[in-house]
Amino acid sequence: MALDSGLALRAPRNDGKKVSANPHEQSVILFPAIDLKEGRCVRLQQGDMARATVFNHDPAAQAHIFETQGFRHLHVVDLDGAFAGKPMNVTAVERILETVGLCVQLGGGIRDMKTIEGWLDKGVNRVIIGTAAVRDPALVKEAARKFPKRVAVGLDARDGKVAVEGWAEQSELDVLDIARRFEDAGVAAIIYTDVARDGMLKGINWDATIALAEAISIPVIASGGLASIEDVKTMIEPRARKLEGAIAGRALYDGRLDAAEALKTIRAARGR
Ligand code: AMZ
């Protein structure tokens, strides 16, 4: 199949949500996370590959567990890809896509148009671009133009400054400055991760995340440290109304966050 035409790409999966012109009318989304390292499903602490805990040797089986629990979305990160600058866990991602019908957003090592098109064509709903959003913003803008609603930007911050290359490199650039670059570019979401909290179960950095969401018009997804049902309750508070949702990793794997309770809490807030 020709990869140079957006029209040739497979249509995105239906995420089962009513499409609204006003994103704030939509309910928040809890994204369970699968981080891939050497074909396995792991969780890191503060992004450190040396502090990896393997939670499942079969990422597709893990994706199936999340689907069975009632999730409709899935956040997948190719960790080796984020460090290498190119996709590394291709087979594992393909198996996930074949196994579940979830709406998959994928990041890690997506740094050029060919890779973006390749993943979208394979059935990824939304690609996440981190390092290239800092180094090559024109790529993000072009991709967002070509694939509306299917390109998200991942901004991973230490003390408000964006980290890149698997978080091994620290830039001097402010999260807000970078986010503003994409204000009118048609980017679907900004996924904001507090690196210091990631995998630490200390709770999401709500103040920083909400401040970012209030400062820009792009929907923001909170990530890093989601610890318990309390974070899910914060997600549905009025002060978090501009958030698209949040990502849950370790808390789901170690049972601190019960999937059924979390989804019930969100559904109740939605009023059905
Ligand atoms: O945990 C890490 N060290 C890490 C991580 N989770 N490093 C990068 N990432 C994720 C980002 C984003 O989703 O949160 O990888 C994606 C960015 O990859 P890239 O290759 O575009 O910078």
Question: With 0-12 CB in 10 A as exposed, 13-18 as middle and 19+ as buried, what is 207?
Answer: exposed
Map residue 99 onto helix, strand or coil. Answer: helix
| Residue 13 domain-assigned (yes or no) | no
| Residue 8 domain-assigned (yes or no) | no
Closest C-alpha residue for ligand 1 atom 4 = 166
| Residue 20 domain-assigned (yes or no) | no
155 lines ligand 1 (CB under 6 A): no
Q: Is the pLDDT of residue 245 over 90?
A: yes
Count of the separate structural domains present in the chain: 1
In the reported structure, the alpha carbon of residue 272 is separated from the centroid of ligand 1 by a whole-number distance in angstroms of 35
Percent of the chain past pLDDT 90, that is, above it, reads 88
Q: What is the pLDDT of residues 36-77, one digit of tens each?
A: 999 999 999 999 999 999 999 999 999 999 999 999 999 999
Between the alpha carbon of residue 142 and those of residues 80, 109, 127, 186, the distances in Å are: 25, 18, 13, 10
Q: Is the pTM of this model over 0.75?
A: yes
| Residue 18 domain-assigned (yes or no) | no
| Residue 3 domain-assigned (yes or no) | no
Higher pLDDT, 4 or 268: 268
Q: Which domain holds residue 79?
A: 29-270
Q: Is the pLDDT of residue 21 over 60?
A: no
In the reported structure, the alpha carbon of residue 166 is separated from the centroid of ligand 1 by a whole-number distance in angstroms of 5
| Residue 11 domain-assigned (yes or no) | no
The CATH number of whichever domain residue 39 belongs to comes to: 3.20.20.70
Q: Is the pLDDT of residue 182 over 80?
A: yes
- The chain-wide mean pLDDT, for the chain, equals 92
In the reported structure, the alpha carbon of residue 78 is separated from the centroid of ligand 1 by a whole-number distance in angstroms of 8
Which residues carry out catalysis?
A: 35, 156
For residue 156, give the ligand 1 atom closest to its CA.
Answer: 14
Q: What gap in Å lies between CA 88 and CA 127, rounded to an integer?
A: 15
At residue 12 the predicted structure's pLDDT band, cuts being 50, 70 and 90, is low
At residue 158 the predicted structure's pLDDT band, cuts being 50, 70 and 90, is very high
At residue 1 the predicted structure's pLDDT band, cuts being 50, 70 and 90, is very low
| Residue 17 domain-assigned (yes or no) | no
| Residue 257 domain-assigned (yes or no) | yes
Q: What does the radius of gyration of the chain's CA atoms come to, in whole angstroms?
A: 17
